[in-house]
Every structure is written in structure tokens, then in C-alpha cells.
């Protein structure tokens, strides 16, 4: 029996870092993907090694012209270094806001290459080298909405959600595939406290989430062998807050 291991994309920063550290705590060795955040990746790897786990850093640019080949090489290299590879966690994400009226082709290509094409192709390559395993895609609770000011980003994440369900059917029972959709957990640094409070006001549980909430959800997906093709929303109920307009809330 080989030591279990995980490939984590975007594992050097933000939520990806928390997932990488949590998986190390859960007993996984870590193949940590990085593109530009090399210094951050070294810090994460050092912390994981301090936990007694093995962590190796693998570089890959998801905007490469030879994307499919490079993703295949990434998985092959991770499998060679970690023969017990049995988890792919797609956490890397590209984000740029713009409505459809201001969305250029280059933006569409970037958002879809990082947020859909890469997880899909990585899943394909992962399935080719492992006998059994899991894939977990990090999505976004915004997929419950039609927020056109984030058109390219949100369309790519909606596509990732559908790909998650489709792939869960294709690769079952050998590979179990699910998604995790975070809500307000780590707002971007430019968000003001007033903005964050405004978002919290729209959350039924009236609180901001924490990385620990997402780690609990991650562990649930990892540990429950009867869950497949699901998108687990961890957002305090924000994504179901869709009452809409009706006669009883109409004010004459």
C-alpha cells in the first residue's frame, strides 16, 4: 500500500492553502501546484513538511499554449513522485468582473481556460493514471445566481458545476467526483467592511464563513463514500435566499 497523496491546484494562496494544510492534517502527502506564487508555495510546503508530510511543488501555467500536454505532464510527474496519488483538488481560479457588454474574447478565454478547461483536462489525465480516487472541484456559491456583472467568471463556474456532475457519472464507480461551493469566507482584500456586512445581511445565518467551515465540508466529501456528483454549498444559506417578489411582500 502506498501513502495516499493529493494534487492541489492553486494551493499556495487563499482557500487553496487552507485546503492543502487540511489535507496534510488528514494524512495526505501533497503535490502542490503553483504558477506565479512561488514564495507563497514554499512557505506552505515548509508548513506541511513540519506536520510530517511530504510536499513537493509542481509548476504549471494554465494559460500555456500547450495546456493539455502540460497538464498531462503535471499529473504524470505527481504520480511518479507519489505512487499513492488518489485525490485531485481543483482549487485554482481566475476572476475578473465584467458584464457581457464589456466582455472581450481574451477575458472569456482566460476565465474558461483556468476555471473549466483545466479542471476537465486534469480530471481526464488523473483518471488515466489512478485506479481509484476522488476529484473535488472548488466552485462558487454565485452559480446559484445570474449575476451578469461577472459574466465570464460566473459562466465558467456554472460550466464547472455541470462538468462536475457529468464527470461524476462518467467515472463512477472508480472515481468519485464532487464540488464545493463557498460563500462569503475570504472576501477579496479590496472589499470594505461595509461591503462585507452588507453581504452578511443577505445570509440567512447572519454570519461570515471561515476556512474551518470549508475544511469541515471538504472532510465530509472525502470521508463519505456514498456521495457523488454533488455540489455542497457552504454559505450560510445565502444561495437559497431567492424568495423573489410576490403579493405578500408587495408594498402598495
The rounded mean pLDDT for the chain is 95
The whole-number average pLDDT for the span 220-247 is: 94
Beta strands in 35-128 (DSSP E): 55-59, 85-90
Q: What pLDDT is stored for residue 244 in this prediction?
A: 84
CA gap 180, 143 in Å, rounded = 11
Kindly indicate the confidence band of residue 212, based on its pLDDT and cuts at 50, 70 and 90. very high
Query: pLDDT, tens digit, for every residue of 137-149?
Result: 999 999 999 999 9
The whole-number average pLDDT for the span 198-217 is: 95
**231 within 8 A of 221, measured Cβ to Cβ:** no
Q: What pLDDT is stored for residue 240 in this prediction?
A: 95
CA gap 34, 128 in Å, rounded = 22
Q: Which residues pair with 59 in a beta bridge?
A: 34
Kindly indicate the confidence band of residue 245, based on its pLDDT and cuts at 50, 70 and 90. confident
* Strand-strand pairing, 85-90 and 231-234: unpaired
Q: Exposed, middle or buried by CB within 10 Å (0-12, 13-18, 19+), for 121? A: buried
Q: Looking at the predicted structure, is the pLDDT value of residue 252 above 80?
A: no
Q: What is the pTM of this model?
A: 0.95
Query: pLDDT, tens digit, for every residue of 11-65?
Result: 999 999 999 999 999 999 999 999 988 899 999 999 999 999 999 999 999 999 9
Query: pLDDT, tens digit, for every residue of 82-98?
Result: 999 999 999 999 999 99
Element spanning 133, H or E:
strand 133-138
Specify the CATH number for 5-237; select among 3.40.50.11240, 3.40.50.720, 1.10.357.10, 1.25.40.10: 3.40.50.720
Q: What pLDDT is stored for residue 243 in this prediction?
A: 83
Q: Looking at the predicted structure, is the pLDDT value of residue 189 above 80?
A: no
Amino acid at each position: 500500500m502506498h501513502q495516499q497523496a493529493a494534487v492541489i491546484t492553486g494551493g499556495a494562496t487563499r482557500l487553496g492553502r487552507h485546503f492543502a494544510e487540511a489535507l496534510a492534517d488528514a494524512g495526505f502527502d501533497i503535490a502542490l501546484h503553483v504558477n506565479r506564487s512561488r514564495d507563497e508555495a514554499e512557505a506552505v510546503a515548509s508548513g506541511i513538511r513540519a506536520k510530517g508530510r511530504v510536499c513537493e511543488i509542481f509548476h504549471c501555467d494554465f494559460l500555456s499554449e500547450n495546456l493539455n500536454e502540460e497538464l498531462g505532464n503535471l499529473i504524470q510527474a505527481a504520480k511518479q513522485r507519489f505512487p499513492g496519488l488518489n485525490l485531485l483538488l481543483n482549487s485554482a481560479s481566475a476572476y475578473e468582473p465584467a458584464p457581457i457588454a464589456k466582455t472581450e474574447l481574451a477575458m472569456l478565454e482566460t476565465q474558461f481556460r483556468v476555471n473549466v478547461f483545466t479542471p476537465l483536462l486534469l480530471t481526464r489525465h488523473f483518471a488515466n493514471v489512478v485506479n481509484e480516487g476522488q476529484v473535488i472541484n472548488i466552485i462558487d456559491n454565485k452559480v446559484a445566481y445570474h449575476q451578469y456583472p461577472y459574466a465570464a467568471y460566473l459562466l465558467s463556474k456554472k460550466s464547472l458545476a455541470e462538468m462536475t456532475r457529468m464527470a461524476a457519472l462518467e467515472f463512477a464507480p472508480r472515481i468519485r467526483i464532487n464540488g464545493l461551493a463557498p460563500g462569503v469566507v475570504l472576501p477579496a482584500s479590496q472589499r470594505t467592511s461595509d461591503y462585507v456586512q452588507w453581504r452578511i445581511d443577505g445570509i440567512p445565518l447572519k454570519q461570515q464563513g471561515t476556512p474551518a467551515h470549508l475544511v469541515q465540508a471538504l472532510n465530509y466529501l472525502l470521508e463519505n463514500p456514498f456521495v457523488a456528483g454533488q455540489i455542497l454549498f457552504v454559505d450560510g444559506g445565502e444561495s437559497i435566499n431567492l424568495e423573489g417578489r410576490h403579493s405578500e411582500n408587495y408594498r402598495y
